[in-house]
Amino acid sequence: MHKQTAAIRLQTGQSNEMEHSTPLYLTSSFTFDSAEDMRAAFAEENDYNIYSRYSNPTVDEFVHKMCVLEGAEAGFATASGMAAVFNSIFALLQAGDHLICSSSVFGSTYALATKFLPKYGIACTLVKANQPEEWEAAVQPNTKMVYLETPTNPQLEIIDLEWAGAFCKKHGLIMNVDNCFASPILQNPIAYGADIVSHSATKWIDGQGRVLGGVIVGKAELIREIYLFCRNTGPTMSAFNAWVLTKSLETLDVRMERHCANALALATALESHEKIAWVKYPHLPSHPEYAIAIKQMAKGGGIVCFELKGGLESGRKFLDALQLLSMTPNLGDTRSIASHPASTTHSKLTEAERLGVGITPGLIRISVGLEHVQDILADIQQALAAC
């Protein structure tokens, strides 16, 4: 069965009502026929559900589909994407361990790595996305994990997953990849050696800006440690959100087709605009890591970035002039979204920190939606004229 078919057809078994659409198990707990059944469930001698913080049939369906799409052995769903990032790190590291993290990551992930990990005795070294010598120099005797995004948020840098997989194997490190920007339809890091893959399901997986969610998939023995940590700390995904997300997976493949087609057309049209210094899109031949993107991504994704020549002030004017595109702290929606990272998602960083991770003053990130591409382009062009 193709994974796209599995995303549509895999679902919780039918109840006596013989429903066609997957059921929603909106319950906090589950009952038992006997004290012995309940004892055995807590002893993990059977696979009965106990409490929805531990497991839930609706959440399990979503996780099962994500494992199939990513080629993973097991998984666990969380309440948000950042809960997935946090737990994929904290469940597997302890005081005295060392993490190597790409410096090009989402703003909250950057804060987690630089401000919060050290509070718990976990050291972190930031390395530039495509500087192999920095990665090699960062390895220490207590290094346990490498964390990376590709494409990176929001600079769209592409890290060679084949190289990263070989690097982690060489040094005996856990390879932890945030695959949010690509989605499991376009890229599967496990095929290149990743041990853990995380997603903010809030983004492309939901695809309509409705619910929060995160998911971690990967090797069974690592997911077991993550499950035990999450079971006792409580970042579990709600059954309702899981029901929304499992239904969303049924259309992820066809939605990503349109997102990618629109994004490539938009990037191509904007590349020669007089008010834009540069345009970045993974499957645009001018992208610095184009060859790597073509190798490991089926399509270029739904994000386009460009640099306004006017810098910070032009970025603000551009956003204010938009009429169709939304201004909202999200991406991966049916509706196109524009953001200015320097004044929003990465505003807590110092100017030096922003420049160090590639967040330039005039950087604009467009999450390209499902509208007609000419309408998206026309709004961007009129906003460019206004700034």
Domain span holding position 33: 3-251
Q: Are 127 and 102 in contact (CB under 8 A)?
A: yes
**Number of domains forming the structure of the chain:** 2
Query: Are residues 308 and 236 part of one domain?
Result: no
CATH code (residue 185): 3.40.640.10
Query: Are residues 126 and 224 part of one domain?
Result: yes
Pick the last residue of a domain from 251, 267, 302.
251
Q: Are 333 and 325 in contact (CB under 8 A)?
A: no
How far, in Å, CA of 84 to CA of 367, rounded? 22
Query: Are residues 209 and 172 part of one domain?
Result: yes
Tens digit of each residue's pLDDT, the chain (387 residues): 888 898 999 989 888 889 899 999 999 999 999 999 999 999 999 999 999 999 999 999 999 999 999 999 999 999 999 999 999 999 999 999 999 999 999 989 999 999 999 999 999 999 999 999 999 999 999 999 999 999 999 899 999 999 999 999 999 999 999 999 999 999 999 999 999 999 999 999 999 999 999 999 999 999 999 999 999 999 999 999 999 999 999 999 999 999 999 999 999 999 999 999 999 999 999 999 999 999 999 999 999 999 999 877 888 899 999 999 999 989 999 999 999 888 777 677 777 877 777 788 899 999 999 999 999 999 999 999 998
- DSSP-derived secondary structure for 172-190: T-EEEEE-TTTHHHH--GG
Taking the whole predicted model, whether its pTM rises above 0.85 is answered as: yes
Query: Are residues 179 and 42 part of one domain?
Result: yes
Question: Residue 286 carries which DSSP code?
Answer: T
54, 110, 128, 156 from 367: Cα distances, Å: 34, 21, 24, 12
How far, in Å, CA of 256 to CA of 261, rounded? 8
Query: Are residues 339 and 310 part of one domain?
Result: yes
Alpha carbon of residue 168 to chain centroid: 20
Query: Are residues 150 and 18 part of one domain?
Result: yes
CATH code (residue 352): 3.90.1150.10
Query: Are residues 48 and 12 part of one domain?
Result: yes
Query: Are residues 317 and 243 part of one domain?
Result: no
Pick the last residue of a domain from 251, 282, 300.
251
Query: Are residues 245 and 144 part of one domain?
Result: yes
Question: Residue 76 carries which DSSP code?
Answer: E
Please give the order of strands across the beta sheet that includes 174-178: 74-78, 214-218, 196-200, 174-178, 143-149, 98-102, 123-127
Query: Are residues 94 and 173 part of one domain?
Result: yes
Query: Are residues 232 and 101 part of one domain?
Result: yes
How far, in Å, CA of 205 to CA of 132, rounded? 31
What is the residue whose two structure tokens read 């945030």? Answer: 178
Pick the last residue of a domain from 233, 251, 269.
251
- DSSP-derived secondary structure for 203-251: TTTT-SS----EEEEE-HHHHHHHHHHHHHH--BPPHHHHHHHHHHGGG
Q: Which helix (H) or strand (E) holds 257?
A: helix 252-270
Query: Are residues 287 and 244 part of one domain?
Result: no
Kindly tell me the sign of the dihedral angle through the C-alpha atoms of 205, 209, 211, 213.
positive
